[in-house]
Amino acid sequence: MQVFLVRIFLIFSIVLITSCASKLKKLSEDKDIQLTGDSGYVLIGIDTNRDLYKILLDGPRRIELSSADLAEGESYILSQLEAGEYSVDRLYVSNYMYYKFDNDDNFRFVVKPGTINYVGHLNIVTRGFWYPTSYLRLDNRSSQSLVFMEDKFPSILRSRMLIYGGPGEDAFYSYIDNGKGDK
Amino acid sequence: MRILKFIICLTITFSTNSFSSPIESSKLFTYPEAFDFKISPDGGLISAIKQDDKKRELLFIDTESNLIEMVLNIGLDVRLLSYHWLNDEQLILLAQYESTRMYLVATISGKKVKLKASKASGYLIDVLSHEPDKILFARNTRGQYYRIYVVSIEEFIDNSFSDATEVLHNGENISRFSFDQRSQRIITQTYDKETKVLSIKSLPISGGKWRLLLEKNVEDIEFSLAAILSSEYVTVLTNQETDKVALQKYNIKKQKLEEVIYEHPKYDLKEASYNREGKLLSVVYEELGLMRREYFNPVGKQMGKQLSQLFPGKEYFLVDYSKDFSKSVLKVQGATLPGDYFTFDAKRAQLRPLLLAYPQLENEKLYSSKAFTVMTSDKDEVEAFLTLADNELDHKTLLVMPHGGPIGIKESDRYNSQVQYFVSRGFSVLRVNFRGSRGFGKKFKNRGVGEFGKLIERDISTVVEQVISKYKFDKMCSVGASYGGYSSVMLAIKHPEKYDCVVGAMGIYDLLLAFNHNNYVAQEKNRKPIENVIGKYDPNLKDTSPVYLASKLKAPILLIAGIEDQTAVFEHTHRLEYMLKKNKKPVETMYYENTGHGHYSWSGDRHEAAITYDFLMRTLNLTEPSPKSLSASARKAIATDYAIIADKFWFEDNVENDKDKSLEFYRKAAEYEEPRAMFNVGAFYHSGDQVTKDISKAITYYRKAANLDYAKAHSRLGRMYMEGEHLDVNWEKAKEHLEKALNLDDTPENYFRLARFDCTAPGKMRNIKRCLASMNLDRFERRSKRQFNRAINGLRSATPWILSETKFNEVQREKFDKILNMAFELNEMDVSIDSKRVGAFEFIEGVGYGVKDEYKTISNGPLVKHSEKDNYYYGMIFEVDIPGINSYRDKVGIAARWTQNMKDGTKKYPNATVLYGAPKGEWKLIRKFDDFEGGNSVTLELFDLKGKPIFKETFIIKS
């Protein structure tokens, strides 16, 4: 097996070009909301060894994960999001330095309407101070995310189907949902 | 035959006493003490690296007297990456200090070794044995570009290459070179990961052009250069046209394989040796887990026969030899011998023992394996190794241990620390080279591909059936790591009636997830390496994935995983744990943070072995050996296992803390008379953590540990007598304990605690001369950087006491100042404080990018309200003020001592330290409220490092 270093483009910039991105609003209450038309829940895991400035996602809408949700350690963002295919576009290590993601590296996920879409854990390891280098992966931690939902959002979990929307295929949630695990 | 003389020497070597008992894990899971043996060109000296916890040395042993002639102390801070003899008086060493690598030339003169560093950047290609004063060196010029020189040793030391012979001007993209002595050619080998093409070129050392020796697509085959025979032919070890890796002739001009020179009917070749004339001397393969060398010349055959008779059941090989082959170093190893080195004198036909790789195991009983083969139902032969626990602890339990991989890995009959650990604790171990293992040919290896949970487990079960039909076992468990973890679970799922427990470490348990565990592996283009092992992606892999078969597992299971594992990602283990719990199956877990697919240090392996042992004993309801029935070393082995488990549950390391479990395991270790565990149980009673505080019990445990010569217990008792903490002040007893502590363990902490005693004891007991001598920092700097840092911490604890209670004369004061300056690199000792905040504070952690931590003042003044909150503190936050000194490069220091004033009039001293650093920003002297034990008040005193009091405040803590 391999350890992957992501191919990234390190760009210095002082130009703010993200003003059109809307911030992803993190849900805190375990109450199933009336999902508007073509939208679903998105569950994103973040695992970073350093506080980050922001992450931009491209998709039906341009989305920003802000610094409040990108603190050092492991955390989750559960939010409502318009259905469609998204990709991770940029990671801002600080307010003046960002990485542009290589689309060949499959930093993509799908949100389906009416469901809870676990789309993976953005695992970011950053080393160095003046010229930081980041190692990035979109990990599948489905069972750990399921435990998070059972623990923090049991009501929403009961109301909606949890599906995997991250890179690749995963039969785990559908297996659980079919109740086979209870036998 | 003269060679029979060997036997006399060896009888002595192997006639050591052996005790049948559990072997302490620190003796098994550790690096060898002696390694990297080499011999000087004239055969006069043998060199070897020797290291333990306290030193690292390069030894020089006289081959005539067999005695250590010289020792070069390398120190623990420096790693010796490699070294070579240049000539009979000089060696070249590649050393690393922190991240800096440097070549050093060691010159032997008389019985002394002098070192000279070279500033040359690059790497040594060869020591050119035919030119003893020169080396072949690849000099780094621009980034990845190298120039190759034949350079004299003196010029190399001076980094002056102007007179050196340049063999190659521009190494371009070629990154590594080697040198073939026989053909006198520089060799370079490249492998293109994209095209899978291996390319080997050669260049005469006399100069000229690179010549292509071979270029070949080596995807899915073995292919390596064995020897350059002529300008037309090389020989290679390959299995391109044969099932087994064979020795084959290769036509350079035609770039084509020609006749097979040697192919073993059962095993892949590992090595082929030629003499200087290009005649094949021997080939090497692995038979029943040990290396076998087949010789083709009469002398070699005779020698091989003699050595096989001398070392039955072991493998042996020449590590290095003198220029005329008259003297050499021989290494012998096997299941019961992790490595024994000998000097072989060919002229005298004499073999003399040199050093053991693991001398700590010399008096331990190690267990040999029964190596055997079993025929599978489809007529393939698989090798297996059974190590029986034929000792008094025999639990009549078989541990089936599938190996990792599973493709291209194999078990051997060499020393195996894990096997010896469990067998010495009474568990028999079975290991199988199932199909998929390497060394048995292409077909055998490829037969295992995609056979997860199928043929591989059938092979293992075939061997298990044979073993249990011959030997009687009451219980059986499967234990394995990586693929072995998967296999262990699958064996128990497939044969629930046979397995009583399972231990799966760092395994993959959802075969579909292996193709999808992150955005990279989920891409089609990256699937080949996984397919080469698991087979093609297929939804039916669910049928052989433990995650989806969890309901069928009957045996209790211990799951072990590294949270940072990138090979068998943690999600595999977490999924299986989730499904087992969902199915209400008995499952225990041990998850290691900051750990990947294996442990980064031996302490992790020791801990994993200990928790597995504990799991087996509890789950199988086995009777623990009574401490009285065991020898002292056996007691220590079991006790250490429990203490290691307790440590991980207690200390802030990579295992989730559980203080109750920690105490439970320290108690178990204490039952086996482990003095450190006794001390720690005493510390629980002392602090009141997890137990009702009981000073009398604490002191009893401390005394028990001290009676067993545990240095820290003496040190603790010495401090308590010195400070009057729960014991009446008794300077005589304090002295006795502190001196004993230092005698038992000369740690920096024990030196500085005794120094504090010597500088502050009353009357004639005061011994300032010894106090200052004990604080000599040079002693610790010589040992290692870590020891020096620990010494600074010791000095920080002792200094406030010394400053407040010792009156030095001028000479003594000067010596003490010198020690303080060496430790803290001070610019100024006359310090005052400014902008102080005295009171209670709340710590607010800054969460998120750019948000700073903050200590918010809750109340001002020394009257503070007690708080249970974990982030509440009391004390002083201040700035230091030194006129004219205010930059980040400056360093100043302040000594501080906290005194707790108890209700009965006694005092406790929870902390004394020196704060030091740049006189910028805020300095903090704060304490948590939970440290306050209901005394009347707490006093904080500050001194400058000349001893002048600069601040004193008594905090009254209201409930």
Residues of chain B with Cβ-Cβ distance to A137 below 8 Å are 518-520
CB atoms under 10 Å from CB of B592, counted, come to 26
Distance from CA of B655 to the nearest CA of A (A): 17
**Burial (0-12, 13-18, 19+ Cβ within 10 Å), A180:** middle
Condensed to tens digits (0 to 9), the pLDDT of residues B106-119 reads 999 988 999 999 98
Distance from CA of A147 to the nearest CA of B (A): 8
Pairwise CA distance, residues B758 & B766, whole Å: 5
Pairwise CA distance, residues A66 & A51, whole Å: 11
Distance from CA of B648 to the nearest CA of A (A): 22
A3 touches chain B (CB under 8 A): yes
Query: Would the CB atoms of B522 and A106 count as touching at under 8 Å?
Result: yes
Query: Would the CB atoms of A171 and B521 count as touching at under 8 Å?
Result: no
Q: Which of B516, B566, B851 sits opposite A3 (nearest CB)?
A: B566
- For residue A2, the model assigns a pLDDT of 36
Backbone angles phi and psi of B216, in degrees to 5: -155, 140
B483 touches chain A (CB under 8 A): no
Residue of B579, B542, B532 lying closest to B557 (CA atoms): B579
Q: Chain B residue with minimal CA distance to A92?
A: B849
Helix (H) or strand (E) holding B944: strand B937-944
Pairwise CA distance, residues B467 & B387, whole Å: 11
- For residue A174, the model assigns a pLDDT of 92
- Written as six digits, the tokens of B387 are 């190590």
Pairwise CA distance, residues B562 & B232, whole Å: 51
pLDDT above 80 (res A130): no
Q: Which of B516, B567, B850 sits opposite A170 (nearest CB)?
A: B516
- For residue B7, the model assigns a pLDDT of 40
Amino acid making up residue B462: T
Query: Would the CB atoms of B513 and A170 count as touching at under 8 Å?
Result: yes
A179 touches chain B (CB under 8 A): no
A-facing residues of B in 584-603 (CB < 8 A) are 597
B523 touches chain A (CB under 8 A): yes
The full set of domain ranges for chain A reads: 25-182
Query: Would the CB atoms of A143 and B530 count as touching at under 8 Å?
Result: no
What Å distances lie between residue B853 and A52, B512, B849, CA to CA?
16, 44, 12
Q: Count contacts between A and B (CB, < 8 Å).
A: 112
Pairwise CA distance, residues B468 & B847, whole Å: 59
- For residue B266, the model assigns a pLDDT of 96
Query: Would the CB atoms of B515 and A52 count as touching at under 8 Å?
Result: no
Query: Would the CB atoms of A108 and B519 count as touching at under 8 Å?
Result: yes
pLDDT above 50 (res A12): no
Q: DSSP class of residue B777?
A: T
Query: Would the CB atoms of A139 and B518 count as touching at under 8 Å?
Result: yes
Pairwise CA distance, residues B36 & B319, whole Å: 9
CB atoms under 10 Å from CB of B130, counted, come to 9
Query: Would the CB atoms of B579 and A181 count as touching at under 8 Å?
Result: yes
Q: Give the Cα-Cα-Cα angle B311, B312, B313 (nearest 5 degrees).
A: 115
Residues of chain B with Cβ-Cβ distance to A107 below 8 Å are 519
Residues of chain B with Cβ-Cβ distance to A106 below 8 Å are 519-520, 522-523
CATH 3.40.50.1820 intervals, chain B? 370-619
Pairwise CA distance, residues B167 & B187, whole Å: 13
Condensed to tens digits (0 to 9), the pLDDT of residues A62-115 reads 999 988 889 999 999 999 999 999 999 988 888 888 888 877 778 899 999 999
- For residue A34, the model assigns a pLDDT of 82
Helices B711-723 & B675-687, crossing angle to 10 degrees? 30
CATH 2.60.40.1930 intervals, chain B? 832-958
Q: Chain B residue with minimal CA distance to A107?
A: B519
Q: Are B542 and A178 in contact (CB under 8 A)?
A: no
Q: Which of B515, B551, B574 sits opposite A168 (nearest CB)?
A: B515
Q: Are B221 and B240 in contact (CB under 8 A)?
A: yes
DSSP for B163-220, written as a single string: TSEEEES--TT---EEEETTTTEEEEEEEETTTTEEEEEEEETT----EEEEEEE-TT
Pairwise CA distance, residues B835 & B507, whole Å: 57
Q: Which of B518, B542, B567 sits opposite A140 (nearest CB)?
A: B518
Q: Give the Cα-Cα-Cα angle B714, B715, B718 (nearest 5 degrees).
A: 85
Q: Are B717 and B703 in contact (CB under 8 A)?
A: yes
Distance of CA B880 to the CA centre of its chain: 43
A2 touches chain B (CB under 8 A): yes
Query: Would the CB atoms of A139 and B551 count as touching at under 8 Å?
Result: no
Query: Would the CB atoms of B850 and A141 count as touching at under 8 Å?
Result: no
Facing residues of B881 across strands? Answer: B832
Query: Would the CB atoms of B571 and A140 count as touching at under 8 Å?
Result: yes
B650 Rama sector, left if φ>0, alpha if ψ -120 to 50, beta otherwise? alpha
Helix (H) or strand (E) holding B29: none
Q: DSSP class of residue B904?
A: T
Residue of B348, B271, B264, B370 lying closest to B317 (CA atoms): B271
- For residue B144, the model assigns a pLDDT of 65
Q: Are B817 and B811 in contact (CB under 8 A)?
A: no
Distance from CA of A71 to the nearest CA of B (A): 4
What Å distances lie between residue B654 and B42, B430, B825, CA to CA?
50, 31, 34
- For residue B205, the model assigns a pLDDT of 86
Low-confidence ranges of chain B (pLDDT < 70): 1-20, 142-144, 170-175, 931-934
Query: Would the CB atoms of A181 and B513 count as touching at under 8 Å?
Result: no
Pairwise CA distance, residues B122 & B166, whole Å: 14
Q: Chain A residue with minimal CA distance to B846?
A: A71
Q: Chain B residue with minimal CA distance to A176?
A: B579
- Written as six digits, the tokens of B360 are 């700590």
Distance from CA of A99 to the nearest CA of B (A): 16
B527 touches chain A (CB under 8 A): no
Residues of chain B with Cβ-Cβ distance to A175 below 8 Å are 542, 548
Section A124-131 average pLDDT: 84
- Written as six digits, the tokens of A128 are 């160095």
DSSP for B464-497, written as a single string: HHHHHHHS--SEEEEEEETHHHHHHHHHHHH-TT
The predicted complex's ipTM stands at 0.91
B579 touches chain A (CB under 8 A): yes
A171 touches chain B (CB under 8 A): yes
Pairwise CA distance, residues A131 & B202, whole Å: 40
B251 touches chain A (CB under 8 A): no
Residues of chain B with Cβ-Cβ distance to A148 below 8 Å are none
Question: Is 1.10.3720.10 the CATH classification of the domain at B370-619?
Answer: no
Amino acid making up residue B167: V
Amino acid making up residue B480: G
What Å distances lie between residue B515 and B510, B535, B537, CA to CA?
10, 11, 7
Q: Chain A residue with minimal CA distance to B845?
A: A71
State the best of B99, B511, B519 to mutate against chain A, taking most chain A CBs within 10 Å: B519
Spelled out in words, what is the top-level CATH class assigned to the domain B832-958? mainly beta
Question: With helix as H, strand as E and coil as C, how does B415-435 read?
Answer: CCHHHHHHHHCCEEEEEEECE
B-facing residues of A in 45-104 (CB < 8 A) are 51-53, 67-68, 70-71, 94-95
Query: Would the CB atoms of A94 and B849 count as touching at under 8 Å?
Result: yes
- Written as six digits, the tokens of B137 are 């060196």
B-facing residues of A in 125-154 (CB < 8 A) are 137-144, 146-147
How much of chain B is in helix, strand and coil states, percent to nearest 5? 30, 35, 35
Distance from CA of B122 to the nearest CA of A (A): 26
Query: Would the CB atoms of A70 and B513 count as touching at under 8 Å?
Result: no
pLDDT above 80 (res A180): no
A5 touches chain B (CB under 8 A): no
B744 touches chain A (CB under 8 A): no
- Written as six digits, the tokens of B687 are 């602090």
- Written as six digits, the tokens of B715 are 């040190």
Residues of chain A with Cβ-Cβ distance to B518 below 8 Å are 4, 120, 123, 137-140, 167
